[in-house]
Amino acid sequence: MRNLLLAAVATLLLCSCSAAQREATSCGYNACPKPVPGRYNVHLVPHTHDDVGWLRTVDQYYYYEVQFIIDTVIEELLDNPERKFTYVEMAYFFRWWREQSADKQAKVKQLVKNGQLQFALGGWCMDDEATTHYVDIIDQHTQGLRFLNDTFGDCGRPRVAWQVDPFGHSKEHTAMLAQMGFDGLYYGRIDYQDQALRRKTRRMEMVWQASQDIGSPRADLFSGKLYDGYCQPGGFGFEYGDEPVQDDPQLYDYNVEQKVKQFVDMVNSRRQVYSSDHLMLTMGCDFQYQNARKNFKIYDKLIKAVNARTAAHNITVYYSTPSCYTKSVHDQNLMWTVKSDDFFPYAHQAHAFWTGYFTSRAALKRYVRTASNQFQAIKQTSCLAGLQRAGPQLEAKLDLLRQAMGVVQHHDGVSGTEKQVVAYDYALRVSTGINQAYSLLQSAWANLTGDSAAYSGMSSCSLANISYCPFTDSNNNFYLHFYNPVSHPVWHLARIPVKGRYYVVSNQQGQAVTSQTIPVNNGTLRVPERAGAKSSYELVFNVSTIPAMGFVVYRVAAAAPGSPGVSTFTPIQSVFMDSKPADGELDWRDGGSESLNERESLDYRPVFAPLKRDDVIEFSQLKEAKKSNPIGDSKMSYMAYYYGYPGNNSAPEFTASGAYLFRPTKQTPERFSLEEIASVTGPVVNETHVVWSNWTYQVLRKFANNGDSLQYSENELTVGPIPYDANTGREVIVRYNTQLNSSATFYTDANGRQVLRRVRDYRPTWPLQQTENVSGNYYPINSQIFLNQSDGSSFMVLTDRSEGGGSINDGQIEIMLHRITVRDDALGVGEALQEKGSDGRGLVVKVTHWLAADQSLPSSSRRRRELANRRYREPLIGYLTAEPKVKSWSGLRRPLPENVQVVTLDDWRGPNTKLLRLEHLYQIGEHPALSQPVTVALGQLFATFNILSATELTLAANQNLNSAQRLQWRTPAGGGTTVGDAAREAEERLQLEQDITVTLRPMQIRTFVVQVQYL
């Protein structure tokens, strides 16, 4: 009976998928044109590339251009059943679809069913691959593919991914696309040296083995580099004004023979770099087909003319799609070379490395990262509280944020390569979405605790990072609600803006905890967005053991000095120096000090040794390790900057630094003249403050041992407004020097998941001719960068946003923090990167890095993985005036194993159906215990509901995993599902069906639609 019930539930949940699969016999690959044996088959692929924001906002693009593209394309497809078209960006198509009549929607559904209108990729946008986080990548694809599945069934499912415009390609991103069920991936940009070699050796298409942890064939994806970008071949851009086919013999300008010859010559040239008997010609470009009739009418004539002369050139051309091309190439059963690294960094010519955008618009990158965490937390709590049971109107409050987060992942969004007005629009969309969705948090906590009185007035402080919180400006006594989105208990170091010096902080048991107040530092005080802030201090304390996916409530109350449990006030004490910094040693006067912000005395106890200009700042955490760890002698951190090259872009050697490109004038950064050093000594944190200039300020923090096993130090860096004149742009960095023998090797993460080995001035698959020693060695850092030594010693930096960096010298990590440029780099955006703050001057950016050292690789891996998980999923802090009834609560009945994390908990097609994703946090071989497979029982995992059944889906949740079929590709090493793999998968399916238990293997993300019963 139970098995029958589970089967019935699964059938109900996936009815739309199964119905779509019955339809699919007339669409998908079955709707593709049949290749002509013995001829060279040319797939003419009409498409448009519609940026979801870039030079215009997403709304402007839709109303000025995109709606007319889709309108006219649909009419032309209806006019001729032989025509085909491929569309990509669901943010636009979703909007267009809602505006159509029922009659027009029915006609479009028929076009999809017969394969004339096909979709590629199908995400909300074509996302960036360097600066996006894996959770956001999954979400935005899920959103778009769900719309297609709900609207068109399986006939609307894209068979291939289409990443034709991003500026480099990620291994982890590709592994996720493979796990979403795609059969192929096409891209338009790879390094010019790589492309030259691939053209020469006919390796423009390959099988990308994108995860050695997931393994083949699950993470393998057939991948192809388009010949020369994604636009039409030269001479055939008819919207650009190229000569059309003029087929009336009575015309003086009759040119059929010339156009056929031009076409055949172009095809014969391109076919030399590909291996199969098929060639894909992308016939479209940015925002093309606003006059689809013009394009299709000329293409009809071109196809007819070429095919009429097949006997002379043995070429057949027909309308096609990327999916149909992929199937045709697959069916030739060729042997393909493999790739197992990535495509970063990307350069399109000498001196032109697209590594500036790894950091461009650093404030927007941070905002997107924090918004992502809030988005996930709101989804979690809404599900735990069962808000959708009250009606879909509450879930609708999340839609605006869901769509905003989908849009901003665009490759000219979070990448920072859009015009300034568009960047403002992205930020406004995210802000509006957060504000609308925040009421869901209030409702969720009111529901879960039965305490609407306390939570109806809960507030947030979005500017707490610059010590500005209107709530604490108005309240001296309040409660703090810390929600932990991590699936394990965590410690948190709270830093709350306050007006006064003395407070008592009480934990959930009502016991006073050690706390410390510190004046807001000068680096933060000069941030113009603080205008109107009343907070002059920061209240710092440890929040111990916040439950897994749960909360604790702390109380903060103003108190008189000397009160029991009152906070320790610790002023910022300046350290006098005999003279301004020079190349020699800086002398410190023992005990000579005064407060930077508070003119009162405090005995100064030196934390750091005397500095030389080339030694600068020593981390006390590393200093303490000197006796047993060679990192102990590797002690310096300093800030510096490069001058961006102000070229005119007339030749590669004159390439300018811009929003996309990073090109320093010199390969050695400019050093600041150190201005002042100060310190804070207290029971919670010791700080060293370094004033490098009037626009760069650094705070190094060493926390007291609070019982957390994952100790780290923090480096806060405030940059801006960056000085600017007509000929000088600056790109500001921080360097961490160690004595580790890193042998030109360092490691960076891909989208917050896989770690990739990097070697300076080296590419694994082609011989690099380096033209830029600094920017040519920069890589995207989404969450972590680290150095290892052969004896197991390591040093790591955990970032709070996506940044660019590398290891320019052995034993050193360099990360770019903020940048402005004086030139555009002539790559399309049409303006220099010059962000302004609210005062009209340059934008001030505040960055924090977590730093740690380890003496063994397993210990280092555990620290990195867990801290990176915490760094992304930081506790959400709610501010309340009323005392909550419940002071501690967990959404899990038991914490998940240390190597498992809930990625997604979201409502899905009804109040009792949820989308659940779990991930294994470790790669193979990182840790002897934590890199092992782990089993989790789902049935009674969550505190507020039981899971009755679970059906596994592909990663983007648009196919039942059991029935998903992917094309398999031949490689020299073989591949395909082995007998052992098949047996293991069958066992895991049985485990899921009978016991609602799942096993996760290293780096695996498993996706389920679950039927729940609330308690």
pLDDT in tens, 863-899: 999 999 999 999 999 999 999 999 999 999 999 999 9
CA distance 959 to 961: 6
Give the single-character DSSP code of 568.
Answer: E
CA distance 823 to 646: 6
Q: Is 243 exposed, middle or buried (0-12, 13-18, 19+ CB in 10 A)?
A: middle
Nearest residue to 85 via CA among 71, 99, 97: 71
Which pLDDT value is given to residue 404? 98
Enumerate residues 6+ apart whose C-beta is below 8 A from 276: 205, 328, 329, 332, 334
What's the pLDDT band for 391 if we cut at 50, 70, 90?
A: confident
- pLDDT higher than 80, residue 760: yes
What's the pLDDT band for 599 if we cut at 50, 70, 90?
A: very low
Annotated domain spans of the chain: 2-339, 362-408+418-570+874-889, 616-872, 893-1014
Which residue type does 370 have? T
Pairs from 763-767 (Cβ < 8 Å, separation ≥ 24): 763/191, 763/194, 763/341, 764/340, 764/341, 765/194, 765/339, 765/341, 766/191, 766/193, 766/194, 766/197, 767/193, 767/197
CA distance 91 to 147: 10
Q: Is 437 exposed, middle or buried (0-12, 13-18, 19+ CB in 10 A)?
A: buried
pTM listed for this prediction: 0.93
Q: Which residues sit opposite 804 in a β-bridge?
A: 780
CA distance 230 to 120: 13
Three-class DSSP category at 524: helix
Looking at per-residue pLDDT, the higher value among 75 and 4 belongs to 75
Backbone angles phi, psi at 683, to 5 degrees: -75, -20
- pLDDT tens-digit readout, 554-566: 999 999 999 999 9
Range with lowest mean pLDDT among 99-108, 159-168, 977-986: 977-986
CA distance 832 to 431: 25
Which pLDDT value is given to residue 173? 98
Q: Encode burial over 644-683: b for 16+ CB neighbours within 10 A, e otherwise.
A: bbbbebeeeeebbbbbbbbbbeeeebebbebebbbbbbbe
Nearest residue to 165 via CA among 43, 320, 269, 52: 52
- pLDDT higher than 50, residue 999: yes
Which residue type does 885 have? K
Range with lowest mean pLDDT among 277-291, 625-639, 752-766, 860-874: 625-639
CA distance 697 to 699: 7
Cβ atoms of residues 134 and 170 within 8 Å: no
Gyration radius of the chain's alpha carbons = 29
Cβ atoms of residues 401 and 443 within 8 Å: no
CA distance 316 to 304: 10
Which pLDDT value is given to residue 980? 65
What's the pLDDT band for 978 if we cut at 50, 70, 90?
A: low
Which pLDDT value is given to residue 129? 98
Q: In degrees to the nearest 10, what's the CA dihedral of 737, 741, 744, 746?
A: -70
Which pLDDT value is given to residue 392? 76
CB count within 10 Å of CB 768 equals: 15
CA distance 219 to 171: 10
Please state the rounded mean pLDDT for residues 261-269: 98
Three-class DSSP category at 22: helix
Q: Which helix (H) or strand (E) holds 542?
A: strand 537-546
Which pLDDT value is given to residue 984? 80
CA distance 719 to 724: 13
- pLDDT higher than 70, residue 141: yes
Decide if 2-339 and 616-872 have a common fold.
no
CA distance 683 to 387: 42
Strands (E), 58-114: 85-87
Which top CATH class is 362-408+418-570+874-889?
A: mainly beta
Residues labelled catalytic: 165
Helices (H), 153-253: 171-179, 192-201
Nearest residue to 466 via CA among 424, 515, 525, 516: 525
Cβ atoms of residues 288 and 69 within 8 Å: yes
Handedness of CA 783, 787, 790, 794 (dihedral sign): negative
Three-class DSSP category at 715: strand
Which pLDDT value is given to residue 10? 43
- Domain 2-339: CATH superfamily is Glycoside hydrolase 38, N terminal domain (3.20.110.10)
Which pLDDT value is given to residue 990? 81
Nearest residue to 32 via CA among 150, 144, 118: 118
Please state the rounded mean pLDDT for residues 112-125: 98
Which pLDDT value is given to residue 25? 64
Provide the CATH topology of domain 893-1014: Immunoglobulin-like (2.60.40)
Q: In degrees to the nearest 10, what's the CA dihedral of 745, 748, 750, 752?
A: 160
* CA contacts within 13 A on the Cβ side of 188: 17
Which pLDDT value is given to residue 989? 81
Q: In the block, which residue shows the tokens 């609407």?
A: 452
What's the pLDDT band for 635 if we cut at 50, 70, 90?
A: very low
Nearest residue to 91 via CA among 117, 64, 55, 66: 66
Nearest residue to 917 via CA among 148, 368, 176: 176
CA distance 333 to 295: 34
Handedness of CA 922, 925, 930, 933 (dihedral sign): positive
Walk across the sheet containing 205-209 and list its strands.
Answer: 160-163, 184-187, 220-225, 205-209, 338-339
Which pLDDT value is given to residue 240? 87
Three-class DSSP category at 502: coil
Cβ atoms of residues 220 and 178 within 8 Å: yes
CA distance 597 to 518: 10
Backbone angles phi, psi at 304, to 5 degrees: -60, -45
Which pLDDT value is given to residue 976? 58
Nearest residue to 784 via CA among 801, 804, 800, 798: 798
Please state the rounded mean pLDDT for residues 958-964: 94
- Domain range 616-872, its CATH number among 3.30.390.10, 3.30.230.10, 2.70.98.30, 1.10.8.50: 2.70.98.30
Cβ atoms of residues 407 and 128 within 8 Å: no
Strands (E), 597-728: 636-644, 670-671, 676-680, 685-693, 696-703, 713-719
Inter-CA distances, 427 with 404, 421, 469, 683, 729, Å: 9, 10, 19, 38, 24
- pLDDT higher than 60, residue 582: no
Share of the chain above pLDDT 70, in %: 91
- pLDDT higher than 80, residue 8: no
Give the single-character DSSP code of 139.
Answer: H
Mean pLDDT of the chain: 91
- pLDDT tens-digit readout, 369-382: 999 999 999 999 99
Q: Which residues sit opposite 713 in a β-bridge?
A: 702, 851
- pLDDT higher than 80, residue 619: no
Cβ atoms of residues 118 and 86 within 8 Å: yes
- The Cα angle at residue 376 between residues 941 and 367, in degrees rounded to 5: 155
Which pLDDT value is given to residue 828? 96
CA distance 108 to 146: 17
What's the pLDDT band for 333 if we cut at 50, 70, 90?
A: very high
Which pLDDT value is given to residue 708? 79
What's the pLDDT band for 636 if we cut at 50, 70, 90?
A: confident
Which pLDDT value is given to residue 974? 73
Task: Quote the tokens at residue 647.
Answer: 């070229």
Task: Quote the tokens at residue 796.
Answer: 């790591």
Nearest residue to 720 via CA among 581, 839, 842, 586: 842
- pLDDT higher than 70, residue 13: no
Looking at per-residue pLDDT, the higher value among 535 and 624 belongs to 535
Cβ atoms of residues 656 and 644 within 8 Å: yes
Which pLDDT value is given to residue 83? 98
Nearest residue to 176 via CA among 226, 119, 127: 127
Which pLDDT value is given to residue 756? 98
Three-state helix/strand/coil letters over 325-364: HHHHHHCCCCECCEECCCCCCCECCCCCECCCCCCCCHHH
Three-class DSSP category at 121: coil
What's the pLDDT band for 329 if we cut at 50, 70, 90?
A: very high
Q: Are strands 220-225 and 184-187 parallel, antiparallel or unpaired?
A: parallel
CB count within 10 Å of CB 582 equals: 11
Please state the rounded mean pLDDT for residues 147-157: 97
Range with lowest mean pLDDT among 86-90, 602-606, 690-694: 602-606
